[in-house]
Amino acid sequence: MGQSSGVGVLDKAASVLTALESGPMTLATLVQATGLARPTAHRLAVALEFHRLVSRDLQGRFVLGPRLVELAAAAGDDKLLVKAGPVLERLRDITGESAQLYRRQGETRVCVAAADRPSGLRDSIPVGSQLSLTAGSAAQVLLAWEEPERLSRGLTESNFSAVGLSNVRKRGWAQSVAEREAGVASVSAPVRSPQGKVIAAISVSGPIERLTRQPGRLHAPAVIAAAEHLSEMLVRDDD
């Protein structure tokens, strides 16, 4: 469980959060990763969930919660998240679809900010959700500009190919149709740091009925513009 602060319950809670840094976990895998007794791990995870430090993904597994994102933004340490909210809201309003911002975390991608469509059929991804890097347009974007070795490793179980990611790099955006989830389409573009490194993917997603089987034709220009605007804001803030 690592070094002890002398406050047992905090050390155990910290061990739960540290374990979840590697990705979604069932109670059984959380017990294995932390070495805590099953009742203790469950009690702590549920208590952390109450405080939104832990959340659940679509499969009911424990994941890091949205409160951690909010605290980082409030501390001013995360300029990306501070700037992202209004950009996502404008993208949602322009496209009429839910907008998300994803970051890579280990071998998963995490939704770190979102602006949901207020009504009707929507693809709502709760902030804090951890999704696979093997499917979806945001996964394509987060892998496409990786170092060759990491890119190659990411392709081993993915639903897309090296040629597909090459095309993503050439055109500057990605689309997916029923790749991550049946009936859902999405379009994503890269957000870059002031040094030019891809640090996040901005996306819109929704039902294929609205986005069609060529969602990029509808929304790629708006998604690219939002990603470039967010990147430019980071550059200005870095000056």
Domain final residue pick, 39, 54, 74: 74
- 141 closest CA partner among 221, 200, 88, 195: 200
Do 223 and 195 lie in a common domain?
yes
Q: For residue 13, what are the domain limits?
A: 8-74
- pLDDT tens digits, one per residue of 71-110: 766 654 477 887 899 999 999 999 999 999 999 887 788 8
Do 179 and 102 lie in a common domain?
yes
Residues pairing with 175 in the sheet = 187
The whole-number pLDDT of residue 73 equals 61
Average pLDDT over residues 177-201: 90
Residue showing tokens 């994102």: 69
Do 144 and 228 lie in a common domain?
yes
- 45 closest CA partner among 69, 67, 65, 72: 65
Instruction: Kindly state whether residue 14 falls inside one of the protein's structural domains.
Output: yes
- 1 closest CA partner among 65, 13, 54: 13
- 23 closest CA partner among 137, 126, 123, 128: 128
Instruction: Kindly state whether residue 2 falls inside one of the protein's structural domains.
Output: no
Average pLDDT over residues 49-63: 89
Beta carbons within 8 Å of 114's beta carbon, 6+ residues apart: 88, 98, 99, 100, 101, 124, 125, 126, 127
Q: Between 112 and 202, where is the model more confident?
A: 202
Do 167 and 142 lie in a common domain?
yes
Residue showing tokens 């050439």: 170
Which token pair is 201?
Answer: 């993917």
Do 21 and 69 lie in a common domain?
yes
Do 56 and 156 lie in a common domain?
no
Number of domains in the chain: 2
Cα-Cα-Cα-Cα torsion 222, 89, 109, 233, nearest 10 degrees, comes to: 70
